[in-house]
Structure 1
Amino acid sequence: MTEHFRIDRPTFDPATGLASFGYALGDLHFVEKLSFPAGADAAAAERASFRKLLDLTAVVLGVSYFKLRAPFEIHAPEIALSEAERAFAIDVYENGLGEFYARNNLQRFGKLSIHAPLDAEATRPAVTLPNRALLPIGGGKDSLVSVDLLTHTGVEFSPFAVNPKGPILTSVDKIGTAPVYITRTLDAEMIRLGKEPGFYNGHVPSTAINSMIAALCALLYGYNQIVLSNERSASEGNVTFDGRETNHQYSKSLGFELLIAAILSDATGGSLKYFSLLRPYSEARIASLFTQESKFDRVFSSCNRNFRLAGHQGDLWCGECPKCHFVFLIFAPFMAKDRLLSIFGKNLLDNPANEASVRELAGLAGQKPWECVGEILEAAACLYTLTRHADWHDAAVVKAVKADLLAQYGEPKLQLAMAECLTDGHDHHIPPALAAKVAAYAV
């Protein structure tokens, strides 16, 4: 295959707040744009650290265009990369696109190459950034738990989102803090070709993309921390493909967090920190923390079927997708039944049509869904808890799977798993002083 993917050097105009990213795939050319709000520090845009982050953002945003053909060679003739940055880029295009390769049966692991000039300067000079955080808001429960934790530990923060719609807007409105919103405009021809024969389409590492955009904002508007809301179960993969574990949530995993944190730190002389505040927690633990605050009950949603790139459509929860089923399942052990039913509008565990999906979530059938859901054993443990719960043991799905659940795992393993779900982990990247404050509050 002689075709290659080319990444052009991006441009940024501080006067208009417009960044442009050019790409080529054979004779196809694309331009993506980011529009930044007024108030940016014009001097920051001239610094070497911003230029470096802008170049790296071009590399990461490129996955959306690369995947149309998924060639083996990536060329960035005007973007100098250090050895660490080159490894980071390969990781984004290999593991970040792992689900895309698996679902399209494309073998690319260990076979991609990036042709770019070598940047011998390992780190950039330190930049001065105010002690405050950018907090990406996705409209779901996780980032809203981070809102509560940051608020009660005294960390100044601003909500952040790219192309905010639906639950993001309503959640930020409830937060009551002025947000930083970025408009991302994908090339329309790329979107059209993704639906045509002869071109590939599929999942891209959106957290990696949004994190790089957030890093640009951190320098332009003055933030020394990007605080993610990724839990420990995000590190669990879905299937093994092409000799490697493939993870729908790869760019939310701890491994990727450590990798991008080092890249952002090097680019800013150690000034910009990047970490997930929820990394010590299971999804079940996060659900238990969410129940302590009710003001977001009518505005949040984790449903990907009704909340897509094109915007929010219909109810907050479709009630039919694996994500809806999983969130309902992990809330049920901790939230009052009437409150949970008022959020979802129906009892998802009393509908026999949902049994197959719940079985997949709990590892009783099929594979872990290609969704941002928790660990299989965690889902099984929550389901086991419901078999012994006065409010839920008679629900149709719970009764239907109980025997198989106990046969596959056994009560001792399920009891231990539930205890572990509620025990905070130590494998995280949170600054020690903040970690101590959060641990003291989140009891």
Structure 2
Amino acid sequence: MEKTYTSCRKDYPVFYYTHYEVHETASDLAVTYHFEIPGLSSFAPTWCFPKKAEDCTCWSEDPTLLRTIFSLGMVELVSYWKIACPPKVVVKAGIINDAQISWWKKLYYQGLGEFFYTNGIEADHDTFMELVCEPSADIQKIANVFTAKAEKNVTDPAASDCGCLIPVGGGKDSACTIEMLKKSRHPLYTYIINPRGATLSTVKVSGLSEDHSIHVKRTLDKNMLELNKQGFLNGHTPFSALVAFSSVITARMYGLKYVALSNESSANESTVAGSTVNHQYSKSFEFEQDFHTYEQDWLESGVYYFSMLRPLSEFQIAKYFAGATAYHNIFRSCNAGSKQDIWCGHCPKCLFVFLILSPFLSHKRLTEIFGTDMLEDASMEDCFDKLTGLQSEKPFECVGSRHEVNAAICLTIEQMEAAGEPLPLLLKRYKELPLYEANFAHRHDYDRYYDGEHLLPEEFLKILTDECYGGVLPC
């Protein structure tokens, strides 16, 4: 029988987040989460957080850290829930109230927007999941002990007023954040989940201390991977929410005040025009704000989570990155080529990065970086049309807004023609479309673009202003 949303929910009506285990040694903190879909499978994904050298703190007894570890499991569970989408989720591993339940349901529903859309699922916010909390007796007992300890101990040994943790993905954005934050007074630590060539190279090229590079290991449960092969439901989940909670765990363990993400204003745009479906929902300002509030209200870690690049567009980030030449040969953000640590040269993400950098780097240099001239490749027309808005659905990738892609293309055409360079195939085709004439007048819209919806503390906003706006914010 075909495995559909409806049939799976009928066959597997309940999902359990049963418990989590923390194993602490002198060198690391290992966490194993336990989920179960009765009648189908159990799952035990793991995370491993390295401890700071000579750290004698017993983190497995820190109530604040355990609240955050439990919450990381609340994000992790959605990757396993989506296999069969049980209509009821029972949380036994911790305690959440009605307000928190509403918060988590919003994250799941919005973060699974692409999953629902690409699988043709007509999910309703109120009925796609009933989330209930039924903590075990042991959990309730532990919670009471921790509450009593917290009331006696009013000082937080992990509290800090300095230090930045910078999640590194290997692309241009985190490199820009690193370069900007070098201008700050703060010690900088880089944060990598499951290191690969581009992430390690970014840290090396940045010149930051390798002793300040924290590598966390996340392992997926093999049962999930096997069920995916068998045809159970699969698709995109809000990975950046995992980054959010896991980075707060890491920042607390290392006594750092800030987690500085590299998400930009462009991430707020929906992937499907006229809808709320957004591949980048957990990179959006809406999620950033929600997470910031959740941390303050329910985690109380003392870690301040924000995105350093939030006021900027992808266009402006590309302009800034064009000057960071040391990273040009090593940065990578192609998902198709991530395992080989290459630009595949045939996907929407590769084409987007090529296009957004094209006003700032020569066509020859871009071809050298990517190893191919994508603008001479007729097979990229479909991706090109999605990126420019000729199709209503953008690629389901982390790409910029339609408007700024068109601005970048118009500027590139203008520059190439002024230099007497022949236009490559896709740009020649674009110039013949009404889209070119409609967008040419707007090619400078992003020169001094500024999004005032952000959470940058004043000291970091000043750095961004100096680096990107010549010291004066646009009115």
- After TM superposition, the score normalised by the length of structure 2 is 0.85
Partner AA of 2:260 in structure 1: V
Counterpart in 1 of 2:334? 303
Structure 1 segment 326-365 matched on structure 2, within 5 A: 326-365=352-391
Counterpart pick for 1:254 among 285, 290, 293: 285
Point out the more displaced range, 353-362 or 284-293.
353-362
2:111 match: secondary structure: coil
Distance 1:422 1:348 in 2: 28
Distance 1:414 1:62 in 2: 46
Describe the superposition over 1:22-72 as per-residue Cα deviations: whole angstroms up to 9, x where unpaired: 001123111011112243553344222112111111111111111100122
Shift of 1:265: 2.4
1:262 match: secondary structure: helix
Contact residue 232 and residue 254 of structure 1 kept, 8 A:
yes
Partner AA of 1:10 in structure 2: Y
Counterpart in 1 of 2:250? 217
Shift of 1:147: 0.5
Seen in structure 2, the aligned counterparts of structure 1 residues 126 and 374 have a Cα distance that, compared at 3 Å, is farther
Contact residue 70 and residue 93 of structure 2 kept, 8 A:
no
Distance 2:162 2:296 in 1: 15
Contact residue 273 and residue 393 of structure 2 kept, 8 A:
no
Determine which structure has more spread, i.e. the larger CA radius of gyration: 2
Describe the superposition over 1:97-152 as per-residue Cα deviations: whole angstroms up to 9, x where unpaired: 1111111122333122210159999x987731351111110000000000101012
Describe the superposition over 1:363-386 as per-residue Cα deviations: whole angstroms up to 9, x where unpaired: 113521111111111111111222
Seen in structure 2, the aligned counterparts of structure 1 residues 41 and 238 have a Cα distance that, compared at 3 Å, is farther
Shift of 1:421: 5.5
Counterpart in 1 of 2:16? 6
Counterpart in 1 of 2:49? 36
Contact residue 386 and residue 393 of structure 1 kept, 8 A:
no
Structure 2: unaligned runs, 5 residues or longer? 1-9, 470-475
Contact residue 90 and residue 134 of structure 2 kept, 8 A:
no
Partner AA of 1:93 in structure 2: Y
Seen in structure 2, the aligned counterparts of structure 1 residues 270 and 190 have a Cα distance that, compared at 3 Å, is closer
Contact residue 18 and residue 93 of structure 2 kept, 8 A:
yes
Partner AA of 2:49 in structure 1: F
Counterpart pick for 1:399 among 420, 428, 432: 428
Counterpart in 2 of 1:189? 223
Counterpart in 2 of 1:89? 104
Correspondence 1:426 to 2:452: yes
Structure 1 segment 235-254 matched on structure 2, within 5 A: 235-239=268-272, 245-254=276-285
1:233 match: secondary structure: helix
Distance 1:331 1:408 in 2: 20
Runs of 4+ in structure 1 displaced over 6 angstroms? 118-121, 123-126
Shift of 1:269: 3.1
Contact residue 239 and residue 282 of structure 2 kept, 8 A:
yes
Describe the superposition over 1:288-338 as per-residue Cα deviations: whole angstroms up to 9, x where unpaired: 00011111111111111101xxxx216x21111000000000101012333
Shift of 1:9: 2.5
Partner AA of 2:50 in structure 1: P
Distance 2:95 2:24 in 1: 22
Correspondence 1:202 to 2:212: no
Counterpart in 1 of 2:209? 177
Distance 2:81 2:367 in 1: 43
Contact residue 231 and residue 283 of structure 1 kept, 8 A:
yes
Partner AA of 2:250 in structure 1: C
Correspondence 1:437 to 2:475: no
Contact residue 377 and residue 417 of structure 1 kept, 8 A:
no
Shift of 1:183: 0.8
Distance 1:126 1:235 in 2: 38
Contact residue 386 and residue 395 of structure 2 kept, 8 A:
yes
Distance 1:233 1:331 in 2: 15
Counterpart pick for 2:410 among 384, 396, 399: 384
State how many pairs are aligned: 431
Counterpart pick for 1:68 among 83, 87, 111: 83
